[in-house]
Every structure is written in structure tokens, then in C-alpha cells.
Structure 1
């Protein structure tokens, strides 16, 4: 136990893997979740997200600001709510998911989550490497070449590995102080970007219909909080049980909502006069062209730092997810495997593929459907479950506590599968109007066209699981036994979440 306590210090390598954190080693405050999600969303690349609200949905600035508030604060309130499970069980989200889906049934959601994490990390790494290449070209006049490209990829990966490899305590410390530094840089850049706004066009922009506003909320929620919903528990697992769950919800919503509201609103302002930001394949360069030349260096540093803050969180969660998937190794090794894969992906992005970014992003969009279905099932289970069995979460052998029927909790697996099918019926994945990968038969309906397929997926999985769960006694009896044991434990969660 003393070794675990020692490892949970800034600068020390975290030796704990996915095993639940005992009550005696819990520490911290709810405010940690504020800095965690502020760090994840401080990147200047939130600007293009706001630009799409004006360029593609026709919203005016007031509607875009409203959409930003509801979509960002609301989706990260969900992240905070799901992170309560981490406080209760002391384990990462996908490890806790074993109690919901079964030892074998959890493999599908875990694999999808890991693939999505690695995919977005690859995009972060590639984008950051391009920013670093631009910075070197401006500062030293060095032109891009193969060796320099590899070096820039390695620099970003090394920074990510250093922080993610050290683990939870270092991440929490970095989140707070680096966020302040890069936050100030971003504010400086944003101040100069405001000067480029065409205020005449902003003032005379007509209002869009209510359907466009609703669709915009769906786009923002899907592009921000929903993507992090299955990682909240990873960062709340060290928090004491006694912390009220409501504080986690407020801290998470405010931490992400404040920077996202500012960035999305500014992106909407910029796009009111020029929609190039919304359509650019390289938003880093597109934003750079809007700034005076002497601002390029601080801007690129801010872009690099924002991507790093987001990426180290994703890599840390991906390492935990890979161990949950069944890789029998230490967390640090899993993190190393993760960054090796992102390095290989970055090489392919930048040196081999001619048109890979669009198709790869489309593939990740499809993965968002099963992730949202998982969120619906897990959220409903949280409402019915108050505790998790620590030994059961780590035992995936036949006959273990969360083995259920053949290793599957069939109500959860069935609800998850049906919701995926429904979500895909409303989904269209394409890189352009002429390159359509997948188009569900209802993708052009009002719900599908307004990007609300994820909301339907969430609702179907949640409602179906709520109906099916009481029918399986192996699931309900197990939860009741664990909850009863938790009520007699020395440390009890006395404040309802």
C-alpha cells in the first residue's frame, strides 16, 4: 500500500493499473475535474467547431452562443455525472463497465473505445506536428522534410509519453498550471482574432430556424462532451467517496464549458464574414493566416500546448482501456504501446497517405455510435447501482461475480447492440458529397440531417436497458448484494449522487 501512495505523487511513476483505489489512498477535491476538462478543451482548434455553426447551419452569433452554452455545458455535465461511478468504484470507466456488460460482454465497448482513443490521438499528434513544423519554418526558416517531420512527431509523442507515463498525480498537476499558461496565450491570440471580425455582417446576420439551433446543439454536444463521456471515471477514481456527486457535475460542466463557450462563439464570429475556417482541411494554418505575422509564434505555441494537454489525457485513458481489454502488462507499457501506434499513424498521415485524414475522421465518426450506445446503458446502470465489487472487477474467470450468463450481461449487451443499429440507420458518414462511405436509410430524415442520431442512440440504449434489466435476476441480484455490502462498509457514500 505504501508503494501505491508513493507513486501517487507529482513526478513519480504511477504504479497502479486498473485495480480499484482503496479508500485509504483516496484524496483530492472536486475542483480537480474542473482543471481536467478545462485542459482538455483549451485548444484553439475549438474555433472551427464554432465556425461550422454559421457556415453550415446559418446561425447568427446569438444563436451560436446559446448553442455553445447548452451543447458544451450540457454534454460535460453528463461527463461529470458518469465520473461519479469512478468515485464510487475507484476504477477506470471501462473496468467498471465489466459490472454492467459482463466479463466477456464488456469486450465490445472496450475495443471500440480504445480504437476511438488511438484514432483521435493520431489526429492530435499529426496536427501538432504540423504546428511545430510551421513554428520551425517561421522561427528558423527550416523547410519541411522527412527527417524534420519525424522529429516533430517524436517531440510531441515524447511530451505526451512523459506526462501520461508518469500518471494521475502528474496529470492533475500539469492540468492546473499548464492550463493557466496556455490559457493566457490563447486569450492573447483570441484578442487579435476578434480584430479580424466583420462586425457589419455579424450585426445583420439573419436568425436561423429553431431546427437549425437544435441541430447545432447536437453537433456541439457530439463533438465535445460525448467523446469524453467514457473517460470521466478515469480521473475521478482517486477522489474520496464522501465528495458530493453534484460537485463533480458542476466542476466538469464549468471546466469544459467556459473555454468551449469562448472558442465556439469566437469561431462563429470569425465565420460570419469568411467561411474558410469551417471548410479548411488544415485549421491550424487557416487560423494562422488571420493573424499578424509576429503573432504566429505565440499562436503556434498555444496550438501545440492545447493539443498536448488534450492528448495526454486521451493517452492515459487509452492505456487503462488497453489493460482492461486484456493486455497483461503494466499501465506504463500500455501507454508506450499506444504512443507507438500513434507515431506509426502520424507517419502514414504525413509521409505516405495523400488523402487519409478525411476517411480516417469518417471512420472515427462511425465509432461514435457504439460509444454513445454504451453511455446510455452505463448511465442507467449508475442510477440503479451504488457500489462495485473491487475483487469482482478484476476477476474475469468463468464463475466470477460479473460472469453472469456465459460472461455476458444480456440486457446491457442487447440494448447496446440494438441502439447501434438504430444509430447507424440515422447516420451518414462521408468525406465529401461525392465520397459517401455509409448512408443509413433515415440519415436524411429531420433527426439524421440535424446530427441528432447520437441522441436517438443514447435514448434507445437507455430506455431499452431500463426495460430489460429488471428481467435478468443475475444482474439485479448481484447489484443488490454489492449495494448491501457497501452500506455496511466503514466508508459509505452518504450523500446521494
Structure 2
């Protein structure tokens, strides 16, 4: 039986297409359609919380404003570049990445991508449950175990149901959520604006360049780089004639415009209120709710849950595709459901059985950000080298699924580059949660040999890093740069050979 058409999928409500190449007739999306999923997933009041993390680097509001615009826009611009690959190959991101790493070798970054996706979506679900508990407590409705159980079930059910339904349902859902969450978020800004103290904003002292770089890297990692491994998943239905520049533009605008405005507002709010600044790291959503009148708490909670669910839906949909790319042989809806079970169990474990999750959880995700940045550099450089679509030539589509095809089983240059970039990157980032996640204090091993910082042990009042450079986390930027530069130089001959071979086969298939 043939796969359902787009019209049938919309009628049935469940997308059965998995990791295979999208049929030409199904590539009907326009670049502007990319605005909706990216905007809906990022127009969350949680974005305001990032402002407190920015200011805790010890920089001024004005320095924070500059890195907010640059960090968020640049990170989603990189997502836009990866999204171009979706149009050029009409397959999920991790399938297209086989051209860089080989059909089998792609499982190395694939596992990391799956862990990042499942981690972020669980993190968002946890925040939604805890936000419900906090706001119910403030309203006097009881925010204890019963509330958390119901919230966990409902949040998980919403996320799993949408991700199992698939692309077309998600796209429709996101276009609706964009307006709902956007409206309430605007109202939040209007209501909370009265808490801004301009004299306090201007009084925040500036920080050194290294702290500015650290805030820049944190924003890149927390926004665009957190999505970059799934960016092509949402552009694989783009028309063949869609302009690459338009795809980059709409992807960047959709992802960046809301977070930029929200973090900028958050900088003013956090600089004005010390309670907000200090409370966000431990309870991001609950702390933001403290500046609101009681009458606005219910719509605020609804907007928070919908926005966090919206982001988690994108993550779990793509993590299901990544699971399939790793060789798990189940239908796409089943793969999404498997990840949904993992998300639910993770949410229950953290909400009900752990005392402190934010530090260790974020430390784990930031650690994965280094190899993910290395992969992004390799993937984008490989994309830039290619002059043909991934499925150009009569055997092109098979090549992405055939280890004996022109992409091969393993690309040792890409794998070695990713390992090298990760080793260097981990050596130049530090665990920002040294007390809560002490198992991750192995990072930063190149800082002391290079004279860039000193690790202060618990015996001397630590653990923490002393010096201006450690918390700049330049290892993330270096990992990306190494991946991009080495790939651009070392893999150029191989990519040219692949494309010459594809061109020759195409020419042979054309009748005289």
C-alpha cells in the first residue's frame, strides 16, 4: 500500500512518513510556512528567564542587550542554514548528515542528537509541571502531589499526541498556538512593565570582554544551537524551487524575533528586581509569576504550558525521526510514542523523586552542546561544499540509505574532526554547576595548562573556577570553528568526487 498523500494525511490526522525521502508531489510548503513552528516554539515567557542568566555573568544591561541580539540571531541563522539542507534533500536532518559522516558513521552524532532532543523536551515538560504547581499554590488551589500528577499526565499527553500525529497536524497546531501564546506574552510584558526601575537598570556595572563572550555563548547554546540538529526536519516539505535565502530568512525570523524581544525585556525586569534576578535560576517560571497580579495568573499559566508544550512537540517529533535514523525499525508514530514514554518517565522521576534537577540537568545538556556545535560546523561546511542536491542523480536517494553508495559507510575525516573538536571544546568550557553536578567537573582541562584559569577545590572554598576566561566557554565556539574549517579544507576533494560521479551517472541515464 502506498503512503498517504498530504491531503490524506491531513484528513487522517497522522503522518506515516518516516525518514524516507519526501515525494516530489508532497513538497508543497513555502518558506514563510517555517515562521509558524519556530515562532510558536520560542514565544515563551521562559525566554525572559534567560535575562537573569545573562546578568549573572557580571555584565551591564547594555552589554547584555548586544549579546542578546547577536547570540540569538546568529544561532537561529545557523539553524536556517541547516534548514536549507532539508529543501535540498527532503529528508530529516540526521539522514542528510549521512552525506557528511557516512551511512553508518552518522550514528555517532545521531546518538548525541537524540540525547539532546530527548533531554530538552523532558526539560520543557518538567518546567510546565513545576509551573503549574507553583501557580496553583499561589492561587490557593493546592500545588502538591495531586496537582503535579495531573499536570504531568496532561502535559505528556499533549506532547505525545501532537508528535504522534506528525508534521501537518503540528504545523496547524503551531499556527494557532503562535497567536494564543503571543497574545498572553504581550500582556505579560504590559502588566510586568510597571516593575521596571530605570535607575536600577542604568546602575548595573559593565563586565570584562570574557564575560560578554560567555553570555553570548550561553544564549547561542540555549536558543538556536539547541534546535540546530532538527532544523532540516521542518524544511523537508519545502518546494524544490523554494529560495534558499528565503528559507534562511523565515527560519531566522521565526526563531529569533520573540526570544530577542523577551530577553531584552527580561534584562530590564531582572536588573530592576533583585528577587527576580536571584530567584530565576532555581524556579524560572514561578519567579516570573511573583511580579504578576492574581487575576493574570491563570492566563499566564495557560500560556506557559502551551508554549513549553509547543517547544517540546518539535523536539519529540524530531527525536523520533532521529531514533529511526539510528536503525530502530518501527513506524514513525511508534518512534515518537517511545520517546514520549521516556519523556513521561523522566518528568515523573525529576518532579517527584529528585530535590535538585536544574543544575545537573543543564550541566548535562551543556556538555552535549560541545559535540553538537562540532557537528553543526561539519554539517554546514559540507552543505556549503555541495553544488548538487543530496538526492541528485538516479541513485541519489538510495545513497543516503545504502552503505555501499557514494556516501559510504564511514567518513573517518568527519568522525575524527568531531572527536578533535569535542576534545578541544570540552577542555575550554567549565561546568557552571560545579557543586550540584560535581561529576562534570572534569571539563576545562585545558584552561590551567594554557594559563586561562585556576580550579579552586572544595578544600579551598570551592568548587569553582577563578579567572576571567573559564566562564566564557569559548570551547563551544572553537568546536564549531574547528568542525567548519577542517571540513571545508579536508573534505573538499571527496565531495567533488562524489558529485562528479553523480553527474556522470546522471548523464549516462539521459537518452541520446
The within-5 A match list for 1:97-246 is: 97-137=97-137, 141-145=141-145, 147-246=146-245
Structure 1 contact 392–401 (Cα < 8 Å) conserved: no
Match of 1:392 in 2: 398
Structure 1 contact 387–483 (Cα < 8 Å) conserved: no
What is the CA deviation profile of residues 441-478 of structure 1, one whole-angstrom value per residue up to 9, with x for unaligned ones?
A: 2347365431222111100111112222145x4x5422
Partner Cα separation in structure 1 for residue 417 and residue 41 of structure 2 = 30
Structure 2 contact 132–143 (Cα < 8 Å) conserved: no
Change (3 A) 1:488 1:287: farther
Partner Cα separation in structure 1 for residue 46 and residue 291 of structure 2 = 14
Change (3 A) 1:209 1:361: closer
Partner Cα separation in structure 1 for residue 436 and residue 407 of structure 2 = 47
Q: Which of these residues, 413, 423, 433, is aligned with residue 415 of structure 2? A: 413
Structure 1 regions of 5+ residues with no counterpart?
A: 491-497
Change (3 A) 1:95 1:78: same
Match of 1:495 in 2: none
Q: Determine helix, strand or coil for the equivalent of 1:355.
A: coil
What is the CA deviation profile of residues 323-364 of structure 1, one whole-angstrom value per residue up to 9, with x for unaligned ones?
A: 001100111000000010011111110111223332122111
Shift of 1:71: 1.2
Partner Cα separation in structure 1 for residue 3 and residue 344 of structure 2 = 35
Q: Determine helix, strand or coil for the equivalent of 2:195.
A: coil
Partner Cα separation in structure 1 for residue 509 and residue 424 of structure 2 = 42
Match of 2:328 in 1: 327
The within-5 A match list for 1:230-379 is: 230-279=229-278, 280-379=281-380
Match of 1:441 in 2: 445
Partner Cα separation in structure 2 for residue 188 and residue 339 of structure 1 = 32
Partner Cα separation in structure 1 for residue 259 and residue 507 of structure 2 = 39
Q: Determine helix, strand or coil for the equivalent of 2:240.
A: coil
Change (3 A) 1:329 1:393: farther
Q: Determine helix, strand or coil for the equivalent of 2:364.
A: helix
Structure 2 contact 58–206 (Cα < 8 Å) conserved: no
Report the TM-score, using the length of structure 2 for normalisation.
0.88
- Are residues 1:478 and 2:483 paired? no
Partner Cα separation in structure 1 for residue 420 and residue 436 of structure 2 = 29
Structure 2 contact 67–215 (Cα < 8 Å) conserved: yes
The within-5 A match list for 1:30-49 is: 30-49=31-50
Shift of 1:169: 0.9
What is the CA deviation profile of residues 349-381 of structure 1, one whole-angstrom value per residue up to 9, with x for unaligned ones?
A: 011122333212211111111111100100110
Q: Determine helix, strand or coil for the equivalent of 1:431.
A: coil
Shift of 1:151: 2.3
Match of 1:383 in 2: 384
Match of 1:493 in 2: none
What is the CA deviation profile of residues 235-259 of structure 1, one whole-angstrom value per residue up to 9, with x for unaligned ones?
A: 0000012111101111111112211
Shift of 1:136: 4.4
Shift of 1:109: 0.3
RMSD: 2.3
Shift of 1:274: 2.8
Structure 1 contact 10–170 (Cα < 8 Å) conserved: no
Structure 1 contact 392–402 (Cα < 8 Å) conserved: no
- Are residues 1:450 and 2:454 paired? no
Partner Cα separation in structure 2 for residue 412 and residue 21 of structure 1 = 26
Shift of 1:396: 4.1
Change (3 A) 1:206 1:330: same
Change (3 A) 1:135 1:25: same
Partner Cα separation in structure 2 for residue 107 and residue 254 of structure 1 = 31
Which 10-residue stretch deviates more, 346-355 or 439-448? 439-448
Shift of 1:31: 0.9
Q: Determine helix, strand or coil for the equivalent of 2:433.
A: strand
Change (3 A) 1:10 1:217: farther
Partner Cα separation in structure 2 for residue 354 and residue 212 of structure 1 = 30
Structure 2 regions of 5+ residues with no counterpart?
A: 453-467
Shift of 1:264: 0.6
Match of 2:426 in 1: 424
Change (3 A) 1:166 1:112: same
Q: Determine helix, strand or coil for the equivalent of 2:113.
A: helix
Partner Cα separation in structure 2 for residue 132 and residue 484 of structure 1 = 60
Shift of 1:184: 0.2
Q: Determine helix, strand or coil for the equivalent of 1:231.
A: helix
Which 10-residue stretch deviates more, 347-356 or 177-186? 347-356
Change (3 A) 1:138 1:54: closer
Which 10-residue stretch deviates more, 318-327 or 351-360? 351-360
Match of 2:463 in 1: none
Match of 2:490 in 1: 468
Partner Cα separation in structure 2 for residue 245 and residue 259 of structure 1 = 23
Structure 1 contact 49–278 (Cα < 8 Å) conserved: no
Q: Which of these residues, 462, 478, 481, is aligned with residue 459 of structure 1? A: 481
Partner Cα separation in structure 2 for residue 483 and residue 50 of structure 1 = 50
Structure 1 contact 75–226 (Cα < 8 Å) conserved: yes
Partner Cα separation in structure 1 for residue 142 and residue 384 of structure 2 = 56
Match of 2:407 in 1: 402
